[in-house]
């Protein structure tokens, strides 16, 4: 099982600022997913990226998959307090459709 | 529409006691089912997954076990809990027929004392 490293682990910013979180692996993966989790709840899927160099946008969130498919980033523009939560990247395996998660980035957006 | 249920929502158990957590899915058939554990709001660790009734794959060696007695029922058990078993346990399902998304339940907060 290949590890996914997320950085930073914690991020505290003011409302309106921009931020980027990263997800890196030493191995190539076929597809990667980003989830967001609020305290006391299960994670919810934000996006799946499958093609090297792919960029997907979800309102103020921009997801990028590295050309070599070993890394991914999530950029949030003009963060809002509602963006607060734990952001998790996960590698999808064909075997059983299982997910292996990174350790997450805990984002706090202050008003 | 599909829904996933977990119970209990919270549980406090002494060391050495048994454990049984239940997860059921409604509104779909023959799903893949998963058990994860999350410690202190960090990443999720995959414990078990199942692609069918009676078919269980274990991802990490531990004193936990899983069973799938019915198509949409997934149970996580232990005969004797350890302090290190404390955590947030999440069940998830995935439609085997299409889509890559896993849908998570509300979780069970387990504290072993």
State the Cα angle at B24 between A102 and B35, rounded to 5°.
25
B40: nearest CA in chain A?
A: A39
Residue B32 forms beta bridges with which residues? B94
pLDDT for residue B41 is more than 70: no
What confidence tens digit (pLDDT) does each residue in A40-57 have? 899 999 999 989 999 999
What pLDDT sits at residue A30? 83
What confidence tens digit (pLDDT) does each residue in B47-95 have? 999 999 999 999 887 889 999 999 999 999 999 999 999 999 999 999 9
- Considering only CA atoms, which of A23, A6, A106 is closest in space to residue A65? A23
Size of interface A-B (CB pairs under 8 A): 64
DSSP states along A7-76: E-SEEEEETT--EEEEEE-SS--S-EEEEEE-TTS--EEEEEE-STT-EEEETTEEEEE-TTSSEEEEEE
Which residues on chain A place their C-beta less than 8 Å from a C-beta of chain B?
A: 1, 6, 31, 33, 39-45, 48, 86, 88, 90, 92, 96-104, 106
What pLDDT sits at residue A111? 95
For residues A54-66, average pLDDT = 96
Q: How far is A38 from chain B (nearest CA, A)?
A: 9
The gap between the terminal CA atoms of chain A, to the nearest Å, is: 40
For residues A92-111, average pLDDT = 91
Residue, of A95 and B76, whose pLDDT is higher: B76
């Amino acid at each position: 099982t290949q590890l996914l490293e997320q950085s930073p682990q914690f991020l505290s910013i003011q409302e309106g600022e921009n931020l980027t979180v990263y997800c890196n692996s030493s191995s190539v993966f076929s597809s990667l997913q980003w989830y967001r989790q609020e305290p006391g709840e299960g994670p919810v899927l934000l996006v799946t990226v499958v093609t090297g160099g792919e960029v997907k946008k979800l309102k103020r969130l921009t997801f990028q998959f590295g050309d070599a498919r070993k890394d991914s980033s999530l950029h949030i523009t003009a963060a809002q307090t509602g963006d607060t939560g734990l952001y998790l990247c996960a590698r999808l395996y064909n075997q059983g459709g299982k997910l292996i998660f990174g350790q997450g980035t805990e984002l706090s957006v202050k008003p | 529409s599909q829904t996933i249920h977990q119970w209990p929502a919270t549980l406090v158990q002494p060391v050495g006691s048994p454990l049984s957590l239940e997860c059921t899915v409604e509104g779909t058939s023959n799903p893949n089912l998963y058990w994860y554990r999350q410690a202190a709001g960090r990443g999720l660790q995959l414990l078990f997954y199942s692609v069918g009734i009676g078919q269980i794959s274990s991802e990490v060696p531990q004193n936990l076990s899983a069973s799938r007695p019915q198509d949409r029922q997934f149970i996580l058990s232990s005969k004797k809990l350890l302090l290190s078993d404390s955590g947030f346990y999440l069940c998830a399902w995935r439609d085997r027929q299409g889509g890559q998304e896993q849908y998570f339940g509300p979780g069970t907060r387990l504290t072993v004392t």
